[in-house]
């Protein structure tokens, strides 16, 4: 009885510890629990509430430009590296650039690269089955959009799925302390805004304004754009290929996610660096990867085999 009482007594402290050190989750006896853990996800809720700060800080075109630039940079880190590189190994790069974009991806507040890749690999193994933790076909829109990762099961990193990645200590560090990089970004934006406000008052910005727009608004919009691939790209759009799941091609989602909306293409051949198989299918991430390849920063971009592209 005392042990149960002590567990509940220390539960809030344990949840707070997990905000800063995800290894604390290993002590959780409810690792497979699919209920939303409200103590653990309090920062996620707080981020959304912080966006209301725009009412008090106002806006400036400078702050909005920074928010848009950070959206674009971090979306590319997610789509090009978290997804196509870490999850699918669709190209090769140096260990240095691997870490740089892992760190930029960590700025998105979508956990570390190892957690992200492990969950995505499991998604492809079990797409739209009962074992798919974020299938809208199985659990509905809201669960697939954000409910799944607010659970103890969703919080855990499946180390068995990422033997090729877990050997890098710098990636394990980013995964364990995944809140460190977002905090550094938020602090940097605040002081950047303060400096701009003092040095260039004609820009009409401030530390608080840059923090709200550059970090909170940009990050929340980025999050919801990213997870539409879970919640909407398995429901709405066209199916060029008869995959075993319900993946769809959706041009609007491809536009806001730099090419990820060609989701039926992707499930047909996940290993390709390119998801827009045809010239009219806009795939900004692929164009940027081609530019990186031209500079020698990445190489061996995996193409879509011609026979698979013609298949139906």
- Calculate the dihedral angle through the C-alpha atoms of 124, 227, 164, 185, rounding to the nearest 10 degrees: 180
Query: What confidence category does residue 155 fall into, taking pLDDT thresholds of 50, 70 and 90?
Result: confident
For 239-256, write each residue's pLDDT tens digit: 999 999 999 999 999 999
% of the chain residues with pLDDT over 70: 90
Q: What is the mean pLDDT of the chain?
A: 90
For 38-78, write each residue's pLDDT tens digit: 877 888 999 999 999 999 999 999 999 999 999 999 999 99
Distance CA 212, CA 57 (A): 8
Provide CB contacts within 8 A for 143, sequence distance 6+: 134, 136
The 3-state DSSP class for residue 151 equals strand
Provide CB contacts within 8 A for 115, sequence distance 6+: 22, 157, 175, 178
Provide CB contacts within 8 A for 284, sequence distance 6+: 76, 258, 259
- Comparing CA positions, the residue from 20, 51, 40, 42 lying closest to residue 215 is 51
CB 121 within 8 A of CB 133: no
* Predicted confidence (pLDDT) at residue 175 exceeds the cutoff of 50: yes
Distance CA 192, CA 206 (A): 8
Distance CA 233, CA 272 (A): 18
pLDDT at 4 (0 to 100)? 44
pTM of this prediction exceeds 0.85: yes
- Comparing CA positions, the residue from 216, 219, 308, 295 lying closest to residue 266 is 308
pLDDT at 192 (0 to 100)? 98
């Amino acid at each position: 009885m005392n042990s149960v009482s002590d567990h509940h007594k220390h539960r809030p402290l344990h949840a707070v510890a997990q905000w800063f050190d995800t290894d604390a989750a290993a002590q959780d006896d409810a690792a497979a629990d699919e209920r939303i853990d409200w103590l653990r996800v309090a920062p996620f809720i707080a981020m959304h509430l912080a966006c209301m700060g725009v009412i008090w800080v106002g806006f400036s075109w400078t702050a909005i430009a920074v928010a848009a630039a950070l959206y674009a940079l971090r979306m590319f880190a997610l789509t090009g590296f978290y997804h196509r590189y870490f999850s699918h190994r669709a190209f090769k790069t140096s260990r240095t650039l691997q870490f740089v974009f892992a760190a930029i991806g960590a700025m998105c507040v979508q956990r570390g690269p190892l957690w992200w890749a492990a969950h995505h690999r499991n998604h492809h193994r079990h797409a739209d089955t009962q074992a798919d933790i974020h299938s809208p076909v199985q659990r509905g829109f809201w669960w697939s959009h954000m409910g799944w990762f607010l659970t103890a099961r969703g919080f855990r990193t499946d180390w068995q799925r990422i033997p090729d990645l877990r050997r890098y200590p710098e990636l394990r560090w980013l995964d364990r302390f995944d809140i460190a990089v977002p905090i550094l970004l938020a602090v940097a934006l605040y002081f950047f805004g303060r400096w701009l406000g003092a040095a260039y008052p004609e820009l009409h910005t401030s530390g608080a304004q840059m923090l709200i727009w550059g970090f909170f608004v940009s990050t929340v919009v980025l999050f919801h754009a990213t997870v539409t691939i879970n919640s909407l790209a398995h429901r709405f759009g066209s199916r060029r290929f008869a995959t075993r799941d319900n993946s769809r091609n959706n041009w609007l989602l491809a536009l806001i996610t730099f090419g990820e909306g060609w989701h039926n293409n992707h499930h047909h051949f996940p290993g390709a660096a390119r998801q827009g198989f045809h010239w009219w299918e806009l795939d900004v991430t692929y164009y940027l990867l081609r530019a990186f390849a031209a500079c020698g920063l990445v190489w061996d971009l995996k193409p879509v085999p011609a026979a698979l592209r013609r298949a139906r």
